[in-house]
Amino acid sequence: MLELRKGVNILQEVSGIRTAEQAEKLFAERLDEANRAKLDRIRNEEARIAIAGAIALVDPESVFVHDGSPEARAHVRRVALERKEEEQLKMPDHTIHFDLPEEQARIVDRTFYIVNPDEKVSVLAKKILRDDALAYVRDYMKGIGKGMPLFVGFYSRGPIGAKAAIPALEITTSAYVTHSADILYRNVYARFDEEVERAGLFFTNVHSQGPNRPEDLPNARVFMDRSWLTTFSTYCTYAGNTLLLKKGNHRFAVDLATYLKVEEELSEHMFITGMTGPGGRKTFFAGAAPSGCGKTTTAMVGTDFIGDDLAQLWIAEDGTLRAINPEQGIFGIIKDVNRESDPYLMKAIREPGSEVIWSNVLVADGVPYWEGSGEELPERGINFQGEWWKGKTDENGKPIPPSHPNARVTVPCTSIGNYNEQLAEDPAGVPVKVITYSGRDADTMPPIVVARSPEEGVVIGASIVSQATATEVGVTGVRRQPWANAPFIPGPLGDYMNAQFKFFGSKKFSNEGRPILAGLNYFLTHEARGGSGKGLLGEKRDVRVWLSWLERFAHGEVKAIETPIGFLPLYEDLRSLFAELIDKDYPRELYDMQFSLYIDNLVARIDLQTEAFRKDENIPELLFEIYDRQKKELLALREKHGAVVPPATLLEEAGGAR
């Protein structure tokens, strides 16, 4: 369960600011006239108390109220440079920010949900009792911003007025964090009160990097107070840990969807993109993928890019599925980004005209470089660990890469050539027809499989796996990645799963409005499919074909082969799409390697998932029923046709395409 406003409000308790009068008194003492006047436009009492509380807690030297004006934005950028949080690069409006070498990703080991006694959280998450969190905030956060400026920003997570958009405060001593927020989120200063009224709530985020020294990092914390929708972040700078408008507030949005908006809304770790199909029709996709598994690339393959990381989904009155991007910029991984795989992103970051914050790449002569760019890298430069030269090793003798594998670029979506700004800003959202789930799976799932029912689709999402990626500190090995959203699910997974079944199985969807749900996998290797070598069977450009086939299938224009794990495409349809869309030969042998069912792998995967979910409490029985049914059907196939069943046999077995 989730109970809002339960337990002590830590910000109020530690700051001592609990009433409007106390807040006014503090503003009179601490804000200069100009900033007081700006703050006076915000009348929401709760917000004013929270802002005053943050000021009293952090105890900064000055307070800057961000009104979203061009002057205010310029001020933030200037302070980021003055305070050396960022440095100017050669290209106009490009800057570089470095996070400490030990903080190059989300600090999962120091990230906690604040809970009341007896509250359960996901088995994949860490929790801290309210009293202990309060003690930490009191001991480490009081006065953490001494001598520093404090920025107070007002943002919306979504187009203003959209059903699933929620306003939020970002209060931080970091100009870099505020600068990032300005690129990634819509400033809603002028309409904050109205938006709080409409949404019925707002999120509060309080951050300070403190002195930003490596020795403080053990004390760094990321706290999310589920009951008070407030985050606290300390002694860190990496945006995934500090700009909690992003993943901190995403976690709250997941909570709200799971407990308070069942069968109404979902909050997902998904890109949103449109594909133009025959006759110019536009079909929208929302797709989940774990961090570092090609989500941004997939999003930009579409003809109408909307978002690359997060999606707020709801069922509209007319029975369609709608999606908005809570963000308006990308904080994208910059590894293996090159002209071939990511042309739009490359244009935005390599040609003048866009504002870009680079982080943790290699810089030489004011130019940023990264691995997998297809460009020649300099022999020396400055990177996330200081001076770097080719061949430099760390204290264990391991080579130090030129740019960190989780290096990032922060770019406004409007700089991306295929961004459909008009639709992305539409409070009605885009109508989503296709949901995809992908991971990083070397040997088991075919490139595309479409669920036979919404419930089986939910199970595809529950079964995502990935190899560990560079986006989290201290995590290695192959991992289960339910819905690619597990790092951001606060409550028990069973509760979230229940909400997924209810949402996608909802009778509120019209026949046309109900989306299809599909699995995508780009990571099958030759050796896993009867070939040799660890090379991938596919290429990044194939993604266009997979998405286009799904586009056609969603409109009933291509048939498919029904199998125990879902529908598979027919060879002829793929071959013609490969030829038409990317001018690529698609041999039958490749199709067979990609789309044969490798029964032993599939069954092993089902066993692994079943065993893992059985250890969790309150997982809906429906999940196990689906796994059991699929396993039985797979074993029956194996009995008849052996361990590897090619698509031609599956087609025969199904009695033809449908």
In the complex, the smallest distance separating the C-beta of residue 262 from Mn ion, rounded to whole angstroms, is 24
529 interface partner picked from ligand SPV, Mn ion, none, CB below 5 to 8 A per type: none
In the complex, the smallest distance separating the C-beta of residue 291 from Mn ion, rounded to whole angstroms, is 5
CA dihedral 78, 81, 84, 89 (to 10 degrees): 170
> Which helix (H) or strand (E) element contains residue 392?
none
Nearer to ligand SPV, 134 or 464 (CB): 464
Longest CA pairwise span in the chain (Å): 81
In the complex, the smallest distance separating the C-beta of residue 269 from Mn ion, rounded to whole angstroms, is 6
One-letter amino acid of 330: I
In the complex, the smallest distance separating the C-beta of residue 415 from Mn ion, rounded to whole angstroms, is 19
| Residue whose beta carbon is closest to ligand SPV | 240
519 interface partner picked from ligand SPV, Mn ion, none, CB below 5 to 8 A per type: none
| 448-450 and 321-324 strand pairing | unpaired
**Rounded to an integer, what distance in angstroms lies between the CA atom of residue 303 and that of residue 419?**
8
For Mn ion, the binding residues (CB under 5 A) are 291, 309
| 207 is a contact residue toward ligand SPV (CB under 6 A) | no
Q: Say which residues have a Cβ less than 8 Å from residue 549's Cβ, sequence separation at least 6.
A: 448, 558, 569, 573, 574, 577
| 560 is a contact residue toward ligand SPV (CB under 6 A) | no
> Per CB under 6 A, which region of 53-61, 239-247, 444-452, 576-584 contacts ligand SPV?
239-247
| 157 is a contact residue toward ligand SPV (CB under 6 A) | no
In DSSP terms, which residues pair with 223 in a beta bridge?
A: 112, 232
631 interface partner picked from Mn ion, ligand SPV, none, CB below 5 to 8 A per type: none
**Rounded to an integer, what distance in angstroms lies between the CA atom of residue 246 and that of residue 241?**
9
| 483 is a contact residue toward ligand SPV (CB under 6 A) | no
Nearer to Mn ion, 80 or 239 (CB): 239
Please, where are the H alpha helices in 70-129? 70-82
| 566 is a contact residue toward ligand SPV (CB under 6 A) | no
Nearer to ligand SPV, 119 or 309 (CB): 309
In the complex, the smallest distance separating the C-beta of residue 180 from ligand SPV, rounded to whole angstroms, is 10
**Rounded to an integer, what distance in angstroms lies between the CA atom of residue 594 and that of residue 598?**
10
Contact between 49 and 18 under an 8 Å Cβ cutoff? The reply is yes
> Per CB under 6 A, which region of 63-71, 209-217, 238-246, 541-549 contacts ligand SPV?
238-246
Contact between 614 and 494 under an 8 Å Cβ cutoff? The reply is no
Site for ligand SPV in 319-338 (CB under 6 A): 331
| 239 is a contact residue toward ligand SPV (CB under 6 A) | yes
In the complex, the smallest distance separating the C-beta of residue 467 from ligand SPV, rounded to whole angstroms, is 15
> Which helix (H) or strand (E) element contains residue 652?
helix 647-653
Nearer to ligand SPV, 239 or 558 (CB): 239
Q: Tokens 């969190």 appear where?
A: 133
> Per CB under 6 A, which region of 54-62, 240-248, 381-389, 502-510 contacts ligand SPV?
240-248
One-letter amino acid of 481: Q
Site for ligand SPV in 279-318 (CB under 6 A): 291, 309
| 94 is a contact residue toward ligand SPV (CB under 6 A) | no
In the complex, the smallest distance separating the C-beta of residue 483 from ligand SPV, rounded to whole angstroms, is 13
Binding map of ligand SPV across residues 419-458, x = CB under 6 A, - = no contact = ----------------------------------------
In the complex, the smallest distance separating the C-beta of residue 169 from ligand SPV, rounded to whole angstroms, is 18
| 249 is a contact residue toward ligand SPV (CB under 6 A) | no
Nearer to ligand SPV, 293 or 561 (CB): 293
Short-list 5, 118, 241, 240, CA closest to 492: 118
DSSP string, 243-286: -TTTHHHHHHHHHHHHHTSTTTEEEESEEEEEEE-GGG-EEEEE
Q: Tokens 């951001």 appear where?
A: 488
48 interface partner picked from Mn ion, ligand SPV, none, CB below 5 to 8 A per type: none
Short-list 153, 160, 170, 179, CA closest to 248: 170
Site for ligand SPV in 97-126 (CB under 6 A): 106
246 interface partner picked from ligand SPV, Mn ion, none, CB below 5 to 8 A per type: ligand SPV
In the complex, the smallest distance separating the C-beta of residue 633 from Mn ion, rounded to whole angstroms, is 34
Q: Where are the beta strands (DSSP E) in 308-366?
A: 311-315, 321-324, 329-333, 356-359, 362-364
Nearer to ligand SPV, 487 or 494 (CB): 487
**Rounded to an integer, what distance in angstroms lies between the CA atom of residue 546 and that of residue 618?**
35
| 226 is a contact residue toward ligand SPV (CB under 6 A) | no
Nearer to ligand SPV, 236 or 499 (CB): 236
| 404 is a contact residue toward ligand SPV (CB under 6 A) | no
In the complex, the smallest distance separating the C-beta of residue 562 from ligand SPV, rounded to whole angstroms, is 34
| 251 is a contact residue toward ligand SPV (CB under 6 A) | no
Short-list 268, 337, 339, 276, CA closest to 305: 276
SS3 assignment, position 589: helix
Nearer to Mn ion, 63 or 105 (CB): 105
DSSP 189: G
**Rounded to an integer, what distance in angstroms lies between the CA atom of residue 57 and that of residue 141?**
7
> From residue 74, how far is each of 70, 120, 178, 185, 301 by CA, in Å?
6, 44, 11, 16, 33
Candidates 73, 94, 179, 247; binder of ligand SPV (CB under 6 A) is: 247
Which residue in 293, 450, 462, 637 is the catalytic one? 293
57 CA to centre of own chain: 30
**Rounded to an integer, what distance in angstroms lies between the CA atom of residue 512 and that of residue 314?**
15
Length of the chain: 658
- What tokens does 632 get? 């039985």
Tell me if residue 413 is catalytic: no
Q: Which residues are catalytic?
A: 293
Contact residues for ligand SPV, defined by CB under 6 A: 106, 239-240, 246-247, 291, 309, 331, 471
